[in-house]
């Protein structure tokens, strides 16, 4: 119920990948159109889909961007100097889990603008908040 047959789609794509694809495609992928002609377009799980479409290099790029947007919230998580860092970190972790359970998170067209804007909150210090009573 949790994956809603996404694991079966993933198994079919992996089978097709390992039997038909080359070593070159392991690094660079084949794109969504190749898999659309053979079977279902995607497994609807974000990291596996990025792997099939853009290869290992695409997965590394997505993970690098995710880590870069999460790094500041990790730094400010334990201290009280950055009050929004824990919220950003927890949200990013939930986002990562949901992307790999329900899919269509990192590959969504709307996330590319809203998510980095949200992650900027992790850089705001207490002394930069407009309400000085809260900042003390």
Count of helix runs (H) and strand runs (E) in the chain: 7, 0
CB atoms within 10 A of CB 58: 18
**Residue 33 pLDDT class (50, 70, 90 cuts):** low
Rounded Cα gap, residues 84 and 63, in angstroms: 22
Structural domain containing residue 78 = 6-135
User: Is residue 34 in a domain?
Assistant: yes
Predicted local distance difference test score (pLDDT) of residue 29? 81
Rounded Cα gap, residues 21 and 63, in angstroms: 23
User: Is residue 46 in a domain?
Assistant: yes
Extended strands (E) in the chain: none
Q: Report residue 4 as tokens.
A: 């809603």
User: Is residue 119 in a domain?
Assistant: yes
Q: For residue 15, how many C-alpha atoms fall within 13 Å in the half-sphere facing its CB?
A: 9
Q: How many separate domains does the chain show?
A: 1
User: Is residue 111 in a domain?
Assistant: yes
Higher pLDDT, residue 19 or 117: 117
- Mean pLDDT value across the chain: 82
Res. 5: pLDDT tops 60? yes
Say if residues 129 and 135 touch (Cβ distance below 8 Å).
Answer: yes
User: Is residue 1 in a domain?
Assistant: no
Instruction: List for the chain the helix, strand, coil content (%; round to 5).
Output: 70, 0, 30
User: Is residue 44 in a domain?
Assistant: yes
User: Is residue 54 in a domain?
Assistant: yes
pTM listed for this prediction: 0.78
């Amino acid at each position: 119920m949790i994956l809603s047959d996404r694991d079966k789609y993933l198994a079919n794509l992996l089978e097709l990948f390992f039997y038909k694809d080359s070593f070159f495609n392991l690094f660079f992928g084949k794109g969504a159109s190749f898999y659309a002609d053979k079977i279902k377009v995607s497994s609807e799980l974000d990291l596996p889909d990025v792997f099939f479409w853009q290869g290992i290099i695409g997965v590394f790029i997505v993970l690098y961007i995710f880590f870069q947007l999460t790094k500041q919230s990790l730094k400010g998580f334990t201290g009280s100097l950055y009050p929004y860092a824990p919220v950003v970190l927890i949200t990013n972790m939930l986002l990562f889990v949901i992307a790999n359970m329900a899919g269509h998170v990192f590959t969504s067209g709307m996330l590319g603008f809203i998510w980095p804007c949200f992650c900027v909150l992790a850089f705001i210090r207490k002394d930069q908040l407009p309400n000085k009573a809260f900042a003390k």
